[in-house]
Structure 1
Amino acid sequence: MTAEVLENNEKPRGTSAFIFNQTAPGPTQPWSWAERMLTSTPTYWLVTTSPDGRPHSRPLWGIWQRNTFWFSSQNRCGEFLKVNPRASVNVQTGEDVVMIEGSCSRVLGDDINVLAEGVGAKYDWELTVREDRVHTRFGQSAPVFRLNPERIYGWTGIAGWETATRWDFTRS
């Protein structure tokens, strides 16, 4: 799966999303708009589910690269993802929103460098990689995950629901 994700640079085509019990009339947003939000947003909200079904939401840093969301967490969400890998990541800039839905997988080996290098460039925060984890200079360490999108939604402005767009991702 790793090679497939890393080589998948295909740009998804957006369609009008079904939202508020109807299909948005459009116009749809271009993929470049969603990708710009996913790339530039400083804080993301990760939503997972505990083993007993309770939602768990937390802010975190991450990067959008190669049509995949990369993050690390020493929080309990990592344990939750072992039981149920389904998750969503949400971003908001002003009233513009983008939401990723998909499944998470643990990242091992050299692929961890994608996150370490991306966090260094985006946040000016040094992470080192060893023992299949990222480590901070303060002694914290965490496993690395990626959220492989199945579907992404986005629209401009709360009142601009008619621009609600859905992008579908296929994984082989």
Structure 2
Amino acid sequence: MQTTDSTRRDLRERTRDTRERLGRERDVWVSTAHPDRGPHQVPLWFWWDGHALWLCTGEATATARNLRADPRVRLALPDTSDVVQLRGTAECFPAREVPEEGAAGFTAKFGWDPRADEGSFVYVRVSPETVLAWRGEAELTGRVLMRKGAWLG
């Protein structure tokens, strides 16, 4: 989704638009870091349950390894004209231990159930602690929509 709308939205509009995008979008950039190897970034599919993002990745991937070592994560939706960035803490669940709600929501959205595949997968639940959103310079002021896990608008 590309937008060039430079009309300044108020906090309520930005929050509404951001929550709607989280429910609609498919991909998110996931940024993690390893204490020795440094930053790692990868796009993954996600499902938004209204409170947290659910992702899935291979158990042996750098993303899974990094999150087990340090659960702090940054996420970003892919549109650079309509920026949404999230910061949070990840919880990793082996596929056999994932809460049913997370697995079922992910499967319903993508038509793929990693639990049924031969590979070893990890589900990741990220509960955002901070959400920022802006469209262009006009919205840089007031771009924080969530602080300490609570929506501001």
TM-score per shorter chain, which class? Answer: 0.7 to 0.9
Question: Given residue 48 of structure 1, which amino acid in structure 2 is its aligned partner?
Answer: T
The verdict on how the C-alpha distance between 1:170 and 1:161 changes in structure 2, with shifts beyond 3 A counting, is closer
TM-fit CA distance, 1:106: 1.7
Q: Which of these residues, 135, 143, 149, is aligned with residue 165 of structure 1? A: 143
The two structures have a TM-score, normalised by structure 2, of: 0.76
Using the alignment, how far apart are the partners of 2:68 and 2:98 within structure 1?
21
Please, which of 84, 90, 97 is the counterpart of residue 83 of structure 2? 97
Q: Does 1:27 align with 2:14?
A: no
Residue 106 of structure 1 aligns with which residue? 92
Displacement after TM superposition at 1:163 (Å):
6.0
2:54 corresponds to which residue?
70
Are 1:59 and 2:59 an aligned pair?
A: no
Cα distance in structure 2, aligned partners of 1:94 and 1:49: 22
> Hey, what does 1:153 align to over in structure 2?
132
Aligned residues with identical type, % of pairs: 21
Q: Is the 8 A contact 1:27 1:162 kept in 2?
A: no
**What 5-or-longer segments of structure 2 have no aligned partner?**
1-7
Find the aligned partners of 2:80 and 2:30 in 1 and give their Cα distance.
18
Secondary structure of the 1:39 match is helix
Tell me if the contact between 1:89 and 1:99 (Cα under 8 Å) persists in the aligned partners: yes
Q: Which AA in structure 1 matches 2:10?
A: P
| Aligned alpha-carbon RMSD (Å) | 2.4
Q: What runs of 5+ residues in structure 1 fail to find an aligned partner?
A: 1-24, 129-133
TM-score where L is the length of structure 1: 0.68
| Separation in 2, partners of 1:63, 1:82 | 20
Rate the CA distance shift 1:56–1:110 in 2: closer, same or farther, 3 A: closer
**How far 1:104 sits from its partner (Å)?**
0.7
